[in-house]
Every structure is written in structure tokens, then in C-alpha cells.
Copies of this chain bind each other. A is one copy, B any other.
Amino acid sequence: MVRKTKGRSKRPTLVDVAREAGVSAITVSRTIRSPEIVSETARRKVEEAISRLGYTPDPAASALASHSTSTIGLLVPSLTNNVFSDVLRGVYEGVEGTRFFIQIGNYRYSALEEEGLIRNFLSQRPAGLIVSSMDQTPAGRALLESASCPVVQIMEISPGAVDMSVGFDQLAAVRSGARHLLDCGYRRPGFISARMDPRAQRRLATFREFTASAGVLDDRRIITTPQPSSVGMGRYLMEQLLSRAPDIDAVMCNNDDLAVGALMEAKRRNIPVPDQMGICSYNDIEMVRQMVPALTAVATPRHEIGARAIAMLLAEIAQPGSVDQRHLDLGYELMIRESTRPV
């Protein structure tokens, strides 16, 4: 059943190409990495030799000799969360056609695991690093600070970023959703949230402050769980909310799947949305606007965060120090749809 014979694959090397082309090894190397500094004739000979031999460079040898790889590390807290799949897409689109490739590390919302991954990634001498939080452990942060490659922190804006950052004001975003609910005339707003990582905690705190200052805070109307977010969890939290505070008239959801779940639960109970229950979602993945009724949501620039982060990183790798705007605030947008009733 064994198929492979660990083929001591006599794969051609730089030296083979050099011999074939009648030049030196370094000329071949240069032809590949910076063709513009090689003479027309040499280049042509080398290119022919390469295609004749079917040569492909060995990235390991290159990494060893040059002390740097073409790997870009991307640390995310979750692979399941739709939020990050959009970021991911932006990042992948940005590296397409370059010599770089992405290596994803999933730290599962654990700062300790994140620290381990940072250490691990850094030991591979990556060309750059994208990390999805500002909440590193002190050791993790120290590692990032002393990294010998550019680092982009994404998702939030924060004055304390290590090197570069791309994000938006998450707290202003959640506030705009809450404000919209009040503007619509809802007076007993609730809040549901799953997976209470530091960022979710901060958004909850902001919701509490905002509603408190508006005189409509009631802790019975706030339900959270450390478990992962899902549509089913949205239904469950909505159920809890309705039994603990039956007079609730609106709900701010900390994630899209929770909002979809909340809508489904309302439908099951024949609670009319938006008339007796306003629903505001957060992030605004595609599905949200296709619901019936379409969900109002705070739209976050997930894809653009990925795209801009990788663009910054590539620019900084190509030319260290060349990126002027090292901290980008991409903003957010309140998408008013059918699940909240305008005044």
C-alpha cells in the first residue's frame, strides 16, 4: 500500500541552473530576486536554464541564508466566528500574487495561547505579523515589541498599539446602535452577548454606561454567556431575556448570529418585530440584511480591516519605515433596516 519512496528527489539547485546557463550561482539568485540589476543577456540565459531544468527555489535554504522567510503570521481568536472569516478574506486577497503566504494561528480567545503562538511564530522569523487584539499578556506584548518584523494589530483603535494598527472605535460603534434604539422610541432595551472576551466585555460596559446615562439601564435586561456565539445561542439568550424581563422592548445583540437567533425566537413567539421588539445587530454579515424583516445593524469594516492591514504590512516589509499612516481608523456605519421602527 505504500506509494512513496521518500524520493531523494534530485531536484535541481541554483548551482545546476548556473552551470546550465554558464554563469555563477549568485547571478541566478539575482535574476530571480531582482532581475533589474542583471544584464539582459545573462537574464535570458538564466531564465531559459530555469525553465529547461524546471527549477524551483528552496525556501528553506533561502530563509536560512537570509534570516527571513516569506511567511506572514495571522493570529485570530476563532476560526468559526464569521467576523474573522471576512478579515481573513481581505488578508488573503492582499497576498495573492505576492511571494508571501499566510500562516494562521488560532488562539481560541486565550491570551495565554496567544502568547505561545506569538513565541512560536516569531521563532520562524516571519516577514510580518498580524494580531487580532490589543489584549496580549505582558510577556506576549513584550515579544511583539521586540519583534524584528513589522506588526499590525487589528480590529480596534488604541493609542497603545505596538507598531501599526487598523481598526475602528468599537465602543462608539456599540453606542451608535444603542442610541438608535432609543431614538426609535424603545425605552426598555436589553443586551445579549456570548463569548465574553475582553472586547465583548468592553462593549457591554459601554452599553451599560450609555443606557445608564440615558436613564434606561436595567441589569435584568442584560444577559451574557462565556460560551461561543451561535444562532441557537441567540435564541436561548432571547428566551432567557424574555422570561427575566418580559417588558423588554428592544435588544442590542453583540454579534450577528445572536441577532438572527433573537429574531427567530421572536418569530416563534409571534412577537412582532419591529413593532413590539426592536433588534439591532453588530457586524452586519451578509445574511443579516436578507432576513425578513431585514435586521438593523452596526456594520463593521471587517474585510477592509484585513485588506488594509496586509497592505500596510507588505509596504513596511518592502521598505521599512515607509508607512506614514501607522494607525488607521476605518469607522463603522449604522445600517437602519426593518427590525427597528423609526420614530
Bound-state Cα–Cα, A104 to B230, Å: 25
Bound-state Cα–Cα, A75 to B104, Å: 14
Q: Which residues of chain B are near A85, meaning CB under 8 Å?
A: 79-80, 85
Bound-state Cα–Cα, A301 to B157, Å: 39
Q: Does B124 contact A59, Cβ atoms closer than 8 Å?
A: yes
Q: Which of B7, B286, B290, B326 is A1 in contact with, Cβ under 8 Å? A: B326
The digit string for A303-332, where 1 denotes a CB below 8 A from any CB of B, is 000000000000000001101101000000
Q: Does B232 contact A261, Cβ atoms closer than 8 Å?
A: no
Q: Does A137 touch B at the CB level, under 8 Å?
A: no
Given A59-B123, A101-B103: A2 in contact with B320 (beta carbons within 8 A): yes
The digit string for A91-131, where 1 denotes a CB below 8 A from any CB of B, is 01000000001111110000000000001000111000000
Q: Does A123 contact B320, Cβ atoms closer than 8 Å?
A: no
Give the residue name and chain of the B residue nearest to A123 (CB): B56
Give the residue name and chain of the B residue nearest to A230 (CB): B286
Q: Does B104 contact A4, Cβ atoms closer than 8 Å?
A: no
Binds B, one of A26-34, A146-154, A212-220: A146-154
Q: Does A267 touch B at the CB level, under 8 Å?
A: yes
Q: Which residues of chain B are near A89, meaning CB under 8 Å?
A: 79-80
The digit string for A29-62, where 1 denotes a CB below 8 A from any CB of B, is 0000000000000000000000000001111110
Q: Does A163 touch B at the CB level, under 8 Å?
A: yes
Q: Does B6 contact A320, Cβ atoms closer than 8 Å?
A: yes
* Closest CB in chain B relative to A253 CB, distance in Å: 14
Interface residues of A (CB under 8 A from B): 1-4, 6-7, 9, 56-61, 63-64, 69, 79-80, 85, 88-89, 92, 101-106, 119, 123-125, 146-150, 163, 230-232, 234-235, 257, 260-261, 264, 267-268, 286-287, 289-292, 320-321, 323-324, 326
Taking A60-B64, A60-B125, A102-B104 as given, write out 10 further A-B residue pairs in contact, using a Cβ cutoff of 8 Å, ordered by the A residue number: A1-B321, A2-B320, A4-B150, A4-B163, A60-B63, A79-B89, A232-B290, A260-B287, A264-B290, A264-B292
Top 6 nearest A-B pairs (CB, nearest first) are: A60-B63, A2-B321, A56-B123, A231-B290, A7-B148, A60-B64
